[in-house]
């Protein structure tokens, strides 16, 4: 019997803030690491009474918690994180591209992106809801998550950018 993951209604879902995202990434890393640990420790776990079963239960519980957490965040961020949970990687290339393909930005390209964001975001007049349709806002929330998104105006318009 398979368990149905917990999920809030979309209007109640919120993006993870920076500390939450970092903590969630740690959980995902633990989930991924425990998959490999089970294989490497299988003989030792068999020496422990119910060791294999207990380890599987712990792994299943952690996986269920991660899936339930996904149900509490916005659909857009959930899609991004689900890819991380599924593959433990974020792909910025078409799915059929080999996994060894990396998209790398130079320091100058990243600086140019941040300059464009600084210019557009400081002049932003969008309110806290309509800014969510902005393509740059969507890109920035994926690349530079903030601590708080509950503002009356676009949160990136108030951000102090470092050079």
In degrees, to the nearest 5, what angle opens at C-alpha 145 toward C-alphas 140 and 147? 135
User: Residue 127's beta-bridge partner residues?
Assistant: 153
pLDDT of residue 96: 56
Q: What is the mean pLDDT of residues 7-27?
A: 86
Q: Give dist(CA 130, CA 27) in Å, integer.
A: 32
Write the CA distances from 52 to 40, 45, 66, 93, 151, integer angstroms: 12, 5, 21, 38, 48
**Least confident window among 132-141, 144-153, 154-163:** 154-163
Q: If you average pLDDT over each of 6-20, 95-109, 132-146, 149-163, which comes out highest?
A: 6-20
Domain boundary among 57, 87, 117: 87
pLDDT of residue 61: 92
Same domain, 124 and 82: no
**Domain count of the chain?**
2
What residues make up the domain containing 117?
A: 107-158
What is the number of H-type helices and E-type strands within the chain? 6, 0
User: Is the confidence at residue 53, as pLDDT, over 70?
Assistant: yes
Pair 24, 73 in one domain: yes
31 part of a folded domain: yes
Do 80 and 70 touch, CB atoms closer than 8 A? no
**pLDDT at residue number 44:** 92
Examine the domain organization and report whether 69 and 26 are in the same domain: yes
Residues 138 and 79 in one domain: no
Final residue before a domain boundary, out of 33, 54, 87: 87
Q: How many angstroms separate the most distant Cα atoms in the chain?
A: 64
Tell me the per-residue pLDDT of 72-106, one tens digit each, with 9 for 90 and over: 988 888 777 766 556 554 444 455 555 555 556 67
**In a shared domain, residues 76 and 125:** no
Q: How confident is the model over 118-133, as a mean pLDDT?
A: 80
Say if residue 15 is in the same domain as residue 47.
yes
What pTM was computed for the model?
0.52
Has residue 119 been placed in a domain? yes
The arithmetic mean of pLDDT across residues 58-67, rounded, is 90
Is 112 part of any domain?
yes
pLDDT of the residue at 154 = 82
């Amino acid at each position: 019997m398979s368990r149905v993951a917990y999920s809030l209604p979309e209007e109640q879902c919120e993006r993870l803030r920076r500390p939450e995202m970092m903590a969630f990434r740690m959980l995902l890393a633990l989930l991924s690491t425990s998959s490999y640990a089970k294989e490497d420790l299988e003989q030792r776990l068999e020496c422990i009474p119910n060791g294999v079963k207990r380890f599987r239960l712990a792994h299943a519980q952690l996986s269920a918690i991660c899936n339930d957490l996904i149900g509490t965040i916005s659909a857009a961020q959930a899609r991004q994180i689900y890819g991380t949970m599924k593959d433990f990687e974020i792909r910025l290339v078409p799915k059929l591209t080999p996994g060894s393909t990396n998209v790398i930005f130079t320091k100058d390209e990243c600086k140019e992106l941040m300059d464009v964001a600084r210019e557009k975001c400081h002049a932003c007049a969008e309110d806290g809801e309509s800014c969510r349709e902005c393509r740059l806002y969507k890109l920035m929330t994926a690349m530079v998550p903030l601590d708080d998104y509950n503002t009356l105006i676009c949160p990136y318009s108030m951000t102090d950018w470092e050079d």
